[in-house]
A and B are shown apart, each in its own frame.
Chain A
Amino acid sequence: MKCPFFILSIAMIMMPMLATGQPATDDLVSTCVIAAGENTTYLKDFRVQLPKAAPNAAVPVYKANMYLMKNMKYRFAVCDAPESTGELVITLYDQGKELISSYNKSTGKKYSSIDFICNKTGLYTLWYDFIDGEQGSGVGVVCMIK
């Protein structure tokens, strides 16, 4: 990390060599890991694809359960697929109680990521949905903040 341009050069040189035989990797996840910012370490990703909400029906949600640990700082980043109509939102729940969301419904403000400074080890639920129940696809990435 002391010589970033050297690293970048190596990466460019390696590109053709890596173009074959690479296992499946989600490009959007990689992009989202970068979007999570510096000083983070990737832990998990969730791929979300949801249909448009039916009239008078609940907004479709993708739910994932995850253990979060005391004394750890987590960042939850969301990224929309290029063709996605909807904008992906994450809401963090603890035993059914909403803790934090990347979208404030009352102000309409949306964040590309949220940070959670965890003080209680336990099982948390991540809810991913699209604003206004639009059809959409995207990824949610969970990182540990160093």
Chain B
Amino acid sequence: MTGTITKIAAVILLLSAGSCRNSSMRHGGPGFPLADSVPAGEAVKLSEEAVADIVQNIASPVEIASILQAMQVPFSAGYLAPTQEADRLTTNFQKAVMLGIYGADLGYLNMYEKTGNSVEVLATIKRLADGLRVGQYFDFETLKRLSLSKSNLDSLLYLSVNSYNQIDRFLRDNDRGSISALMIAGVWIEGQYLATQVALSHTDEILRDRVGEQKIILGDLLMLLRPYRQSSEEYKSLYEMMEGISTEYTDVKVSYRLGEPETIEDKGRLVMVQHEESIVEMSDEQLAKIAEMSKEVRNKLISGQ
């Protein structure tokens, strides 16, 4: 009940803003970018172009934070990137990576309902977004109010995740894919840092699997970054650092156990339970090396090196 009401409140907030902003809605419907629509055709294949679309979905700090919550891992501000570093950032490369890193931190803060602590992160994100000319998608004032009220978590989570999705969409639609890729890499590395650091100190099979499974995802992330790696020394350095993490994953094995899915109807909702399973084999030593390398890369990025 309370969840529904908070969501209704969120929509009232959003619709009120939208009513002044989106005149197309009042004249026949929302504006759907045609670029989003593609015709049916060939079977699914993973060209590099397709990978660019894939990777938009790879990094969800909210999902990692939910695992940590389920593990009852207490919140630790020590995992957050220091915001004072952000004032020293000068290049778009640095700003984009850090926008991703702080975005992951924001997801972590919000999932743990540490919303009062998030205002500084929000302010930093706003500055970086403005610096990259995508600040229009980040409604700092609303997010700040929601954070300080410490009450409407659903709205806060929705608005913050949606802001990043819109920034990402805008960048890719405006031929700024290299900036989008950096932001995604930033989100990924911070999520990876958080997951690996917690995995070192807390034994949990699910989190451990999540770290191991990044082997698959990192491959696509590298593919996303690859076209830009010669564009600057910074990009080249990032790519090589990410390759370094990938190298630590070489001997991690991900295999699959077949199983037929089961579909049930539960309270009028269709539910599929997947019985095919992915299995990760990763030793403690491998985990430690991956964690160390991930930490090194993340710390280099936040120090602007």
> Across the interface, do A146 and B66 meet the contact criterion of CB distance under 8 Å?
yes
Given A25-B166, A47-B36, is A30 in contact with B161 using a C-beta cutoff of 8 Å?
no
Instruction: Provide the main secondary structure of the chain B interface.
Output: helix
B-side interface residues, number (CB < 8 Å): 90
- In whole angstroms, what is the CA distance A30 to B155 when docked? 10
Minimum distance in angstroms from B148 CB to a CB of chain A? 11
> Across the interface, do B166 and A4 meet the contact criterion of CB distance under 8 Å?
no
- Chain B residues, CB < 8 A from A84: 29
- In whole angstroms, what is the CA distance A146 to B153 when docked? 13
**Complex partner residue of A14 from B11, B25, B145, CB under 8 angstroms:** B145
Given A25-B166, A70-B213, is A49 in contact with B34 using a C-beta cutoff of 8 Å?
yes
Closest Cβ neighbor of B18 among chain A residues: A27
Given A24-B21, A34-B8, A41-B157, is A115 in contact with B30 using a C-beta cutoff of 8 Å?
no
A-side interface residues, number (CB < 8 Å): 86
Given A18-B16, A22-B20, A117-B274, is A7 in contact with B6 using a C-beta cutoff of 8 Å?
yes
- In whole angstroms, what is the CA distance A121 to B139 when docked? 33
- Chain A residues, CB < 8 A from B145: 14
Closest Cβ neighbor of B19 among chain A residues: A19
> Across the interface, do A8 and B18 meet the contact criterion of CB distance under 8 Å?
no
Closest Cβ neighbor of B53 among chain A residues: A65
Given A1-B153, A60-B40, A116-B274, is A30 in contact with B21 using a C-beta cutoff of 8 Å?
no
- In whole angstroms, what is the CA distance A81 to B36 when docked? 15
**Complex partner residue of B17 from A8, A22, A65, CB under 8 angstroms:** A22
- In whole angstroms, what is the CA distance A120 to B66 when docked? 18
> Across the interface, do A122 and B271 meet the contact criterion of CB distance under 8 Å?
no
> Across the interface, do B1 and A122 meet the contact criterion of CB distance under 8 Å?
no
Given A1-B2, A15-B12, A19-B19, is A61 in contact with B40 using a C-beta cutoff of 8 Å?
yes
- Chain B residues, CB < 8 A from A115: 266, 269-272
Number of A-B contacts (CB under 8 A): 255
For window 35-50 of A, CB contacts with B under 8 Å fall at 38-39, 41-50
- In whole angstroms, what is the CA distance A44 to B137 when docked? 15
For window 14-40 of B, CB contacts with A under 8 Å fall at 14-22, 25, 28-30, 32-34, 36-40
> Across the interface, do B41 and A23 meet the contact criterion of CB distance under 8 Å?
no
> Across the interface, do A41 and B53 meet the contact criterion of CB distance under 8 Å?
no
- In whole angstroms, what is the CA distance A107 to B42 when docked? 28
B251 within 8 A of A: no
> Across the interface, do A129 and B270 meet the contact criterion of CB distance under 8 Å?
no
- In whole angstroms, what is the CA distance A116 to B152 when docked? 27
**Complex partner residue of A7 from B58, B152, B158, CB under 8 angstroms:** B152
> Across the interface, do A99 and B62 meet the contact criterion of CB distance under 8 Å?
no
- In whole angstroms, what is the CA distance A59 to B256 when docked? 33
Minimum distance in angstroms from A78 CB to a CB of chain B? 12
Could you say which of B86-94, B232-240, B275-283, B290-298 contacts chain A?
A: B275-283
- In whole angstroms, what is the CA distance A120 to B157 when docked? 26
Q: Which residues of A contact B (CB under 8 A)?
A: 1-8, 10-12, 14-31, 33-34, 38-39, 41-50, 58-67, 69-72, 81-84, 92-96, 99-100, 102, 111, 113-123, 125, 129, 137, 144, 146
Q: Which 10 A-B pairs have the closest CB atoms?
A: A22-B17, A38-B3, A61-B40, A49-B32, A4-B5, A11-B9, A15-B16, A100-B272, A121-B213, A115-B271
19 additional contacts (CB under 8 A) given A14-B13, A48-B32, A69-B63: A7-B5, A19-B16, A21-B139, A28-B30, A29-B162, A30-B14, A30-B18, A38-B3, A38-B4, A41-B157, A42-B162, A49-B32, A58-B41, A60-B37, A63-B38, A64-B57, A99-B261, A119-B277, A121-B254
